[in-house]
Structure 1
Amino acid sequence: MNFKTFYINRHQIGYQEVLLDDPVFEKAYLLENPKKIDIIAIPDGCVDLQFTWESNVCRGYVCGSFLQGKKSLISSCCRCFGLKLQPGIHFKFLKQDVASLVGNRIPLSEFLDTGSFEQELGEMPDFLSMVEATRRFFYRQQTVPIHIIANCVAKLIVNSPGTLKVSDMTSTLGYSQRYISNIFKCHFGLSLKKYSDIIRAQTAITYLEYTDIMDVIVDLGYYDQPHFIHDFKQYTSMTPSSFLNQVCRSKVGLVV
């Protein structure tokens, strides 16, 4: 699925993205925000490699997924280029538990010598050149192979989408809940329940553009309308009604 990472004002913030047919990277994106308008980060359960322009200097960061929708730190930057890693994929150079990345933004310079590359990237004029140069740079780094069980669980959650009970996952895979949970958290940094909730919210964002609110509630297994409103606001910082008004009707907002 094309994970949604930001809510932006489409009239004041420029945005480009390209989906990548790549085992390591899910997509690349570029945000142009000269007026430094607020950008809302949406949890997606993925790790991003971001390069931001601060006082005309390009700096790289490793960014874990947020656990709730809130203002992103890139709001203070005039430009942000990013590569989103495929779910469950991370690099060996991180040398730390992926769970410690969740909600955090760590300078790439803590792990790699990135000075010359940041300078090179900072001088590139177009988006596609950034994409290819950054992919080449990180292809030199080793990734941590995702465990087959973690991969299977992630697919079950996405295909459900986000509504499959943990007990049903363990029954399907034939392993104990504790064993599956530990392996999954090692690769995704999140509990099975939290990742399921994130995927369900991600799916609700897509469904709302085409489907009535009550149908979304039924299809995605929310208890009732208040439960849906609470969860949707937690992960997007908007109520479903605000989302419909700003994204679907007035077209002022854009979820990307």
Structure 2
Amino acid sequence: MPTADLTESTVPAPEALRPWITEFGSIPTGTDTSVPYTHVPHAGTTIVLRDRRDTLVVGPQTRAAYSAADKPAGCTRLRLAPGATRQLLGVPAADLADRVVRLADLPGVAADLAHELAALPTEDVLRFLEAILPQRISEDQTQRAHRELLRDAVAAIATVPTVRGLAADLAVSERQLRNLFTAGIGVSPKHFARIGRVRRIIASAGQTPWSQLATATGYYDQSHMTADFRMLMGVPPTSFLRGDLPAPRTRPQSHMSRVARSSMPR
């Protein structure tokens, strides 16, 4: 089963947008709706633009989803930088975890741009945001410091085995680090690291023996890796590699088209 990530082509965001948006991605309109997709867990928040329709926000996805579209669909995706969710969307990232909401329903500055973004051709989106977004966002010294600290934590977390060690390296308390991750990313540091490891396992599956892959991705042993993988993906890594996966759910217009189940913030 292909993953949505593999069908997406991405480019880095322009420097002027980098404090708030890290990359710009495009998923082409598919033609074969019989092929289901695996949506691998991802700790980022994403603004999703669908041709001339509602602009959506997809929060951090803490576990895998398996789905099939009922008709061909494509989209453009703007991946938000760690710590930028409240500034752009007006809510902490934790309020968006495992949810999909309409951008226009959120209280942040980006909501005012929802209709314009939906109407723009894909090739004009970054130029439009580059011209208007920096003027709409205000950031005080504390907010900037928190965003930069979170950026440093994200860069270091793959090489530091514990939350305590990461907090010590960054000269903050464990409580402060957890609060930063919850508000700025939407998941705890531990779950963020777990998602990163599972994504690395999927990228290397079939190329490296499981025991070696477990060591390379920071697990104590293969059984620890298997338990983590099953928790996030719903199946053990051997089943995933064989394609023995949970039955996909049909989601109209692709996995991006779920409507908000409740108003924001919850």
Q: CA deviation at 1:67?
A: 0.6
Q: 1:156 to 1:105 in 2, by over 3 A?
A: same
- Equivalent pair of 2:47/2:56 in contact (CA under 8 Å): yes
Counterpart in the other structure of 1:196: 193
- Secondary structure in 1 aligned to 2:53? strand
Counterpart in the other structure of 2:116: 117
Query: Is the aligned partner of 1:165 residue 2:174?
Result: no
Counterpart in the other structure of 1:7: 3
Query: Following the alignment from structure 1 to structure 2, what is the Cα–Cα distance between the partners of residues 134 and 38?
Result: 33
Identify unmatched segments of 5+ residues in structure 1.
1-5, 247-256
- Per-residue CA deviation, residues 129-186 of structure 1 (Å, 9 max, x unaligned), is 444445545444427636143333222203x1xx511122233334332222223322
- Secondary structure in 1 aligned to 2:3? strand
Letter in 2 for 1:152: D
Q: CA deviation at 1:30?
A: 1.7
- Equivalent pair of 1:43/1:67 in contact (CA under 8 Å): yes
Identify unmatched segments of 5+ residues in structure 2.
244-266
Q: TM-score, normalised by structure 1?
A: 0.72
Letter in 1 for 2:24: A
* Structure in which a larger fraction of residues adopt strand: 1
- Per-residue CA deviation, residues 193-223 of structure 1 (Å, 9 max, x unaligned), is 1111112222223343653322111122324
Counterpart in the other structure of 2:263: none
Q: 1:9 to 1:42 in 2, by over 3 A?
A: closer
Match of 2:96 among 75, 97, 101: 101
Query: Is the aligned partner of 1:46 residue 2:41?
Result: no
- Secondary structure in 1 aligned to 2:190? helix
- Equivalent pair of 2:55/2:103 in contact (CA under 8 Å): yes
- Secondary structure in 2 aligned to 1:103? coil
- Equivalent pair of 2:229/2:237 in contact (CA under 8 Å): yes
- 1:164-243 matched pairs, under 5 angstroms: 164-208=161-205, 210-236=207-233, 239-241=236-238
More off after superposition, 78-87 vs 218-227: 218-227
Q: CA RMSD in A?
A: 3.2
Query: Following the alignment from structure 1 to structure 2, what is the Cα–Cα distance between the partners of residues 243 and 137?
Result: 43
- Secondary structure in 2 aligned to 1:45? coil
What's the % identity of the aligned pairs? Answer: 19
Letter in 1 for 2:105: E
Count of aligned positions: 228
- Equivalent pair of 1:52/1:77 in contact (CA under 8 Å): no
- Secondary structure in 2 aligned to 1:227? helix
Query: Following the alignment from structure 1 to structure 2, what is the Cα–Cα distance between the partners of residues 84 and 71?
Result: 21
Query: Following the alignment from structure 2 to structure 1, what is the Cα–Cα distance between the partners of residues 113 and 172?
Result: 42
- Equivalent pair of 1:41/1:70 in contact (CA under 8 Å): yes
Q: TM-score, normalised by structure 2?
A: 0.70
Query: Is the aligned partner of 1:27 residue 2:20?
Result: no
Letter in 2 for 1:38: P
Q: 1:97 to 1:135 in 2, by over 3 A?
A: same
Q: 1:131 to 1:171 in 2, by over 3 A?
A: closer
- Per-residue CA deviation, residues 75-125 of structure 1 (Å, 9 max, x unaligned), is 76612111112233325242222210111111011132346414522xx3x
Q: 1:233 to 1:8 in 2, by over 3 A?
A: farther
Query: Following the alignment from structure 1 to structure 2, what is the Cα–Cα distance between the partners of residues 230 and 108?
Result: 35
- Equivalent pair of 2:60/2:185 in contact (CA under 8 Å): no
Match of 1:87 among 66, 76, 82: 82
Q: 1:212 to 1:140 in 2, by over 3 A?
A: farther
Q: 1:135 to 1:245 in 2, by over 3 A?
A: farther
Q: CA deviation at 1:40?
A: 2.5
